[in-house]
Chains A and B, each alone.
Chain A
Amino acid sequence: MPLPRLIPCLDVAGDRVVKGIRFQGLRDVGDPVDLGAAYSDAGADELVFLDVTATVEERPLLPELVSRVADELAIPFTVGGGVRSAADGEALLRAGADKVAVNSAALKRPALIEELAALLGSQAVVVAIDAAAGKVYARAGTEPVGRLAAAWAAEAEERGAGEILLTSIDADGTRAGYDLALTRAVAEAVSIPVIASGGAGEARHVAEALEVVQAALLASILHESPARLGALREELGDLGVPLRDAA
């Protein structure tokens, strides 16, 4: 297996990185390219740019922004938010993204996963799942869809997803650790890589998740600080997590 991955997640609104819980109280944190480059220099294995306004405004992340990121960064990045068609996904890849993430749009119309995989290849298709108490929620975690996260993950794989990005709504923001039961259930249901998200407060939490899945999404644990990523990598190294030599 490849080395465990650390993936900082940058929430984007318009062309700025913002901080905030979902749609409330967004605060400007900086320029996506500058922050992305700083995380890359600090040893990020990949990045995720999540447009927190795109689903509401029904359009994907700005292609000009995606291109600026691609021109500056030499690590892979995923773009999520507002992807509703294979054409949306193709436009983002052509702009320079490596993968696109879909969530609510795929729940509403699961064939979207097949269409994206056929056009872009499975390796470019990330299906994001928000779950609480093992069940899936749509629309930024607000709308229960009445199915188990593990079953939806297995269906997504069957339809051509190349990766699952699993966020625990219960754990998100608590900094009390990832929801390992949920994470394990999903990881056992699929044979594609899984990225755990939500709940990391300290290095030990990240190390625990990386024993179950292949990658950890990092958000509030980083405090929007690339330097914090560097420190976290060292702490994880001390805990015996084999990370790549990023020099």
Chain B
Amino acid sequence: MRVAVCDYGASNVRSVLAAFGRLGAEARSTRDPDDVLAADLAVLPGVGSAASAMRGLREHGLDAALRSRVGAGGPTLGICLGLQLALEESEEDGGVPGLGLLPGRTVRLREGRVPRMGWAQVEPDGEAFYFAHSYAAETPAATARSEGIVAVAEAGSFLGVQFHPEKSGPAGARFLARCLSRA
């Protein structure tokens, strides 16, 4: 199973690679659009700001590669900012157009302490995953929520999660194993 993890900015890609590696997948980080198109599973990870992340994706042609991959039904996983970038737009950084892989937009969290940081239960299953975010998705494609906040959203072959499965212990490993088995 070949997993291509988009590496386009200052983020912790290594933990994503390690998490897939522990599950026996052959995970590589890449900036090459051809790798993203050819992999069994493509992963768009990401922390940091929407504007700089979109710039990084465009610079390497990864935005177009992700669109055509998802358009062709290729399994693709977005993690945290990777979910937010997949929406149509983000209100972060004064407004940033997204990849449009999911309907909806990214909005600033306005309740509780922000960044929203720590383990929180995801409904309907009730398992706890690790979150670290200041923005969240508003989308009709949501399939699971955590404290009312979109935790999982899915459209076609794109699956986005607001939590960090690579940082969510055994629960996260089980989630990533399911992603691999579906790819």
List residues of chain A with CB under 8 Å of any chain B CB.
1-5, 40, 45, 67, 70-72, 74-76, 90, 93-98, 118-124, 162-163, 191-193, 214-215, 244-247
* Chain A residue contacts of B114, Cβ below 8 A: 191-192
Q: Quick check: B10 and A90 within 8 Å, CB to CB?
A: yes
Closest Cβ neighbor of A121 among chain B residues:
B48
Chain B residues closer than 8 Å to A98, beta-carbon distance: 12, 15, 132, 167
B128 contacts the other chain (Cβ, under 8 Å)? yes
CB < 8 Å neighbour of B47 from A1, A121, A191, A215: A121
Question: Do A214 and B118 form a contact, CB below 8 Å, given A74-B19, A246-B169, A247-B170?
Answer: yes
A1 cross-chain contacts in B, Cβ below 8 A: 112-113, 116, 118, 120, 147
Q: How many residues of B contact A (CB 8 A)?
A: 40
* B118 in contact with A75 (CB, 8 Å): no
Q: A1-B113, A2-B131, A76-B130 are in contact. Are A96 and B12 (CB under 8 A)?
A: yes
A120 vs B132: C-alpha distance when bound (angstroms): 13
Least CB distance, A90 to chain B, in whole angstroms: 5
Q: Which residues of A lie under 8 Å from residue B167 when comparing CB positions?
A: 74-76, 98
Per a CB cutoff under 8 Å, which of B48, B115, B119 touches A193?
B115
Point out the residues of chain B lying under 8 angstroms from A245, CB to CB: 127-128
Question: Nearest Cβ in chain B — how far from A17, in angstroms?
Answer: 20
Which residues of chain B are near A214, meaning CB under 8 Å?
113, 117-118
Q: What is the CA–CA distance of A119 and B147 in the complex, to the nearest angstrom?
A: 29
Please list the residues of chain B having a beta carbon within 8 angstroms of any beta carbon in chain A: 10-15, 18-19, 21-22, 47-49, 81, 112-121, 127-128, 130-134, 147, 164, 166-170, 172-173
Interface centre among A2, A192, A246 (most CB of B within 10 A): A2
Collect the chain B residues with CB atoms within 8 Å of residue A4's CB. Answer: 118
A121 with B49: CB separation less than 8 A: yes
Chain A residues contacting B132 (CB-CB under 8 Å) are 76, 98, 123, 162
In Å, the complex CA distance between A115 and B84 comes to: 23
Cβ-defined contact, B128 with A71, below 8 A: no
What separation, in Å, do the CA atoms of A74 and B115 have in the docked complex? 20
Name the A residues within 8 Å of B166 (CB-CB). Answer: 74
- A162 / chain B contacts, CB cutoff of 8 Å: 115, 117, 132, 134
B109 to chain A, nearest CB (A): 11
The contact sample of 16 A-B pairs, CB cut-off 8 A, is A70-B12, A70-B14, A74-B19, A74-B22, A74-B168, A74-B169, A76-B130, A90-B10, A94-B13, A97-B12, A121-B48, A123-B115, A123-B117, A192-B113, A193-B117, A214-B118
